[in-house]
Amino acid sequence: MTEATSGKKSLSMTLLALGTALLLVSLYCDFTKTYSGIGAMRGAFLVIGALLILAGIYYIPTVLHHRAIINCIFLFPLLFTFAVTVIIPMFVGFFYSFTDWNGVTFTRMVGFENYAAMFKEPAFIWSLLLTVLFVLVNMILVNLVAFLLALLCTTKLKGVGFFRAAYFLPNLIGGIVLGYIWQFIFSNVLTKILSSPYSALAKTNTAFIAIIVVYVWQYAGYIMLIYINGLATVPKDVLEAAQIDGASDIMTLFKIKIPMIAATFTICTFLTLTSAFKQFDVNLALTNGVGTVRGFMGARLSNGTQMIALNIYNTAFARDQYGYAQAKAILFFIILACVSLLQVRISNKREVEM
């Protein structure tokens, strides 16, 4: 028994030591840019080193913590991936927002300059306000259209399955493609039908409406499916009871169906809210954010239809101000996080009430 334990202990120690050594060698080669000779093996060393360390941890002679160790080893791939793709970039991004990073190098730390600058930039404030307006309008419109479609698709019409699929279909097309399709419709088809020389996309206010139309068209089908699901959960006996009591369809809708699916409304409202906030692809493909705005904060703006996500993208990729864009992205993150927290709170409250 003791022999086995000590054997295990020495095995575990050897594996750990070997693994750490390989890891360190590979990291050393990478940092010093030694890519030839032993450096050419750095990738293999890294992987093998990491596996040896895992094996070493697995063989640690302990009965008490053995189960915990195994759990950790099984969780490791997921946690590692999550850290590499989400946690670490977030902190690095937070750090970059305090620099003048241009995507390749940064020359100095600028403190809160980036954060102060964005509130003095009329174009950004415009994008922010426009996005809020866009979110409010869409939250109402998408839900209204989706709910009406859901009501339509839960009646005993012929070919309801076809209609459901047809309404949902736009959601399966990627935003960029969809943007270009609609650009063609606005520029080449609607101009001919209305015999107007210019498409709706050429003027800021009509272009904004155009984006809303396309967005509702794209998203209402998806939300409709959720409402259909919600409506299907309304118990039949309650509806029958109402019918026997002589309630009209309108009364059934407002007094029974809507209150019964209140939770669905909450979900759909927040789904549209967060996704409208993040609107990017349709915006990019349809107008690329251009549009004239006069006299906003005393300036003439050229980014009349630019939502906040596109504004951040352009700041980074067109203007090469990655640090500044990162600061804007942090603000955007905070706004979205607040909205999401609010969502969780409200839905929890409602669930308790029910």
Q: Give me the 197-216 binding string for another protein, x by CB under 8 A, dash otherwise.
A: xxx-xxx-------------
Rounded distance, CA 128 to CA 124, Å?
Answer: 6
- Distance in angstroms (rounded) separating the CA atoms of residues 206 and 187: 13
Q: Does 225 bind another protein (CB under 8 A)?
A: no
46 near another protein (CB under 8 A): yes
The CA distances from residue 119 to 135, 244, 250, 320, in Å, are 20, 61, 48, 19
User: Which residue among 18, 27, 55, 335 contacts another protein (CB under 8 A)?
Assistant: 55
Binding positions for another protein, 234-263, rule CB under 8 A: none
Minimum Å distance from CB 278 to another protein?
Answer: 19
Sequence-ordered list of residues with C-beta below 8 angstroms from that of 127, at least 6 positions apart, any chain: 303, 306, 307, 308, 310, 311
Nearer to another protein, 261 or 310 (CB): 310
The smaller minimum CB distance to another protein, of residues 273 and 325, is found at: 325
Of positions 1, 64, 104, 244, contacts another protein by CB under 8 A: 104
Check binding of 295 to another protein (CB under 8 A).
Answer: no
Nearer to another protein, 106 or 168 (CB): 106
Token pair 């998408």 in the structure block, residue: 142
Out of 77, 103, 111, 259, point to the residue binding another protein (CB under 8 A): 103
Cα distance between residue 241 and residue 258, in whole Å: 16
State the CB neighbour count (10 A cutoff) for residue 303: 23
For 255-271, b where at least 16 C-beta lie within 10 A, e where not — what string? ebbbebbeebbbbbbbb
Q: Residue 323 interacts with another protein (CB under 8 A)?
A: no
How many C-alpha atoms does 342 have within 13 Å on its Cβ side? 12
Q: Which residues contact residue 298 at a Cβ distance below 8 angstroms, ignoring those fewer than 6 apart? A: 122
* 43 is an interface residue for another protein by CB under 8 A: yes
Residue with smaller CB distance to another protein, 243 or 292: 292
Q: Which of 286, 307, 308, 331 binds another protein (CB under 8 A)?
A: 286
DSSP state of 99: B
183 or 272: CB nearest another protein: 183
Query: Footprint of another protein on this chain (CB under 8 A)?
Result: 40-41, 43-44, 46-48, 51-52, 55, 102-104, 123, 183, 186-188, 191, 197-199, 201-203, 286-292, 299-300, 302-304, 314, 316-320
